[in-house]
């Protein structure tokens, strides 16, 4: 799938790398909250190098009383996507696909691992990411593995700095479903950002 073709109908949205302390107001978070009708679920998202298969980034999507995306050690900013530190709200299927598409290009692909969990586990994960705070660069997997280790039934998860290690650990849990997503767009994120900004300006 070509990112430029996909972006044409996107909502207001910008993505970038880094860590930043952000706290969206209550009224905006409440207004933008998205409740997915699927089962309570943890979705571990791992970006891998297409040449070496080495892990480059870790994120966690949580479907609980609302669906959020925990994107540690990165920023994911837009006027229409409220953020509290590294927790992004309003993760509709379109925003989910855009997040995966944005990170998938000629040099990187994305591994998506889904596991349906109890409502109690999903809510515990939601509370944990909300309480964690902004994550420094290069600590995305460490922070995510710490959160997962603290969830009921996931005490066997070992804290790690390596995205592939966490993905391999998660894969051992019964019921995990794994898929890959690849694109062949340019590795030039500046070019992608310009395309996105043009789409966002048009959508204003």
Return the HEC string of the chain. CCHHHHHCCCCCCEEEECCCCCECCHHHHHHHCCCCCCCCEEEEEEEEECCCCCEEEEEEEEECCCEEEECCCEEEEECCECEECCEEECCCHHHHHHHHHHHCECCEEEEEEEEECCHHHHHHHHHHHHHHCCCCCCCHHHHHHHHHHCCCCCCCCCCCCCHHHHHHHHHCCCCCEEEEECCCCCCCHHHHHHHHHHHHHHHC
Pair 94, 155: CB distance under 8 Å: no
pLDDT at position 180 is 98
Q: How far apart are CA 141 and CA 158, in angstroms?
A: 11
- Maximum distance among all alpha carbons in the chain? 47
**Segment-wise mean pLDDT, segments of 10 residues, the chain, 204 residues:** 46 45 92 96 97 97 98 75 92 88 90 98 98 94 98 98 98 98 81 50 42
Pair 175, 118: CB distance under 8 Å: no
pLDDT at position 66 is 98
Quick one: how far is CA 168 from the chain centroid? 18
pTM of this structure: 0.87
């Amino acid at each position: 799938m070509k990112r430029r073709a996909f972006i044409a109908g996107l909502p207001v949205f910008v993505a970038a790398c880094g860590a930043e302390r952000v706290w969206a107001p209550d009224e905006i978070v409440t207004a933008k909250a998205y409740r997915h009708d699927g089962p309570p679920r943890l979705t571990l998202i791992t970006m891998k190098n297409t040449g070496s298969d080495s892990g480059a980034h870790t994120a966690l999507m949580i479907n609980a009383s609302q669906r959020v995306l925990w994107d540690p050690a990165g920023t994911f900013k837009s006027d229409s996507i409220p953020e509290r530190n590294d927790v992004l709200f309003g993760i509709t299927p379109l925003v989910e696909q855009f997040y995966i598409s944005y990170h998938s290009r000629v040099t990187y692909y994305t591994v998506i691992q889904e596991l349906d969990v109890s409502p109690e586990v999903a809510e515990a994960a939601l509370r944990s990411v909300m309480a964690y705070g902004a994550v420094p660069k290069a600590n995305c997997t460490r922070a995510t593995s710490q959160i997962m280790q603290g969830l009921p039934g996931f005490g066997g998860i070992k804290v790690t700095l390596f995205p592939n290690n966490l993905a391999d650990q998660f894969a051992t849990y019964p019921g995990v479903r794994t898929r890959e997503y690849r694109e062949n767009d340019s590795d030039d994120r500046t070019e992608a950002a310009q395309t996105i900004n043009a789409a966002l300006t048009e959508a204003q």
